[in-house]
Structure 1
């Protein structure tokens, strides 16, 4: 295994990308600073507009060569800068979707001179037409009521009715509140539900996901939980520690599940009983006087032989 796989490096992505060979990553999934002045323990979110856009173009140009030719990219952005950055990416890739993440923010407070912003913008880009995309892995099942309404004969056997529908480009998933069990100490943590959907759809099993701005490590967890590999970077040592703790907790859960797996199916223990029953059945023939009695019908044969002896008239006729 390569020494850079399944690692989160506590360093600047622009410096660390040299670790990753070109053309080795299936999916870039990243959530860079939005330049809204948040405190990430450094000045990465406090640049001028010109500096921010120049820096964004710099890391994009450094990261894209790491993608495989049929790889994809998802990028979280704010509506304030998504137009410029989308144009930047359109000059290098093909844009497939603008996804709107509705954070389900309660209708409380907010600006009194504009509409409240309650969404993040996500860009979905691909390198070429044969990009990997597994729609069946992320379909949303229909509820029983919908299936019942579609019970007419023309719908019988329809695959889409059984496997579910294609997720739309508006994803309504609640943000992680402070009391949420998934929440880590990070101001802009993304829900696993969203990241796992992207990983399942756009990275093949066993493939590699790259995140240049790991934050709380949700991309790494999603990759691990979905059977993919990961690599990423994070500047803040405190966030690196959080990532390590979250990955260690996941490893513990996986180890416990693996340890419990042999005991889970109680069927192997039932085998001795099956063998005992088999032995009992094998012993049963000893009590089969019925088999000897079954031989009693042998007198029937003599009857036939007697009948043959009493058939001289037939011989006479011959």
Structure 2
């Protein structure tokens, strides 16, 4: 019996990884603390640079054996540490993409001594050449005007025109502001749109996604919505309760139309 599947354990991932058999995970989505001193109800984001990079290498080396031979990793990072962490990961995996998440932050003042930082960096890494990647599941449909402009005979029946284009490596998705309907009580909650794109592309239906730093539980919610299994860890008991509430909301029946 698989007792760890579709569970979020309220514990440190470094201890919790032992619950998961090696070679059992299709996709690893990691949104670790960024080393910027944010308050997650504990001291997990208050390491100095050297200790932060050392800790990152520690959890990466504990997590990667859990991936299947054709498994993939997406990791959210800040520009401050992504160069060092990408170099470290390249020694262990093959880098496929550096994805820039444009958070659509409005231009309202900011620093006068540097350019405003409005993006997160996401690394996409794989273990082998035969990694799972379902492009058709994440294509972006063309609008009617674009389709009409491509009406010449050479475009008739073109698959790419009918089902959409490949998402680029710059993802323009609004951050979850306070009034956003998805927003939960977590300082760095990621949008479902981003995590669901990762899942649909890189985890087969019925596959398993591992999130070592569940936070508000977006990975678990996305997995459940997309027909994937999940497992993860979260240190803060308040966030663990938040995750359970978000998952329970998915089980409630849709209100009937009036």
TM-score (norm 1): 0.80
Partner residue, 1:56? 56
Residue 30 of structure 1: how far off its partner (Å): 1.2
2:200 matched residue in structure 1: 200
1: CA distance, partners of 2:161 / 2:73:
29
How many matched pairs? 256
Task: Look up the match of 2:191.
Answer: 191
Q: How does 1:111-126 map to 2 (within 5 A)?
A: 111-126=111-126
Alpha-carbon RMSD:
1.0
Moved over 6 A (4+): none
Distance 2:249 2:159 in 1: 38
| Cα offset, 1:134, TM superposition | 0.2
What displacement does 1:40 show? Answer: 0.4
Matching of residue 42 in structure 1 with residue 81 in structure 2: no
Higher helix share: 1
Is the counterpart of residue 171 in structure 1 residue 171 in structure 2? yes
Tell me what 1:288 maps to. Answer: none
Once residues 247 and 139 of structure 1 are traced to their aligned partners in structure 2, the CA distance between those partners, rounded to angstroms, is 27
Structure with larger Rg: 1
How far 1:94 sits from its partner (Å)?
Answer: 0.1
CA distance in 2, matches of 1:37, 1:9: 24
Q: How does 1:1-318 map to 2 (within 5 A)?
A: 1-252=1-252, 256=253
Equivalents in 2 of 1:37, 1:114: separation in Å? 20
Structure 1 spans left out of the alignment, 5+ residues: 261-318
In the TM superposition, what is the alpha-carbon distance from 1:87 to its structure 2 partner?
Answer: 0.4
Q: Distance in 2 between matches of 1:24 and 1:82?
A: 27
How far the C-alpha of 1:109 sits from its partner, in A, is: 1.7
Q: Which fold has the larger relative contact order, with Cα–Cα distance below 8 Å and residues 6 or more apart in sequence?
A: 2
Residue aligned with 2:248, SS: helix
Distance in 1, Cα, partners of 2:203 & 2:88: 23
Q: What is the CA distance between 1:251 and its match in structure 2?
A: 1.4
Q: Which whole-Å deviations, capped at 9, do the CAs of 1:19-71 have from their partners, x for residues lacking one?
A: 00000000000100001010001111110111000000000000000000000
Distance 1:14 1:110 in 2: 37
In the TM superposition, what is the alpha-carbon distance from 1:110 to its structure 2 partner? 1.1
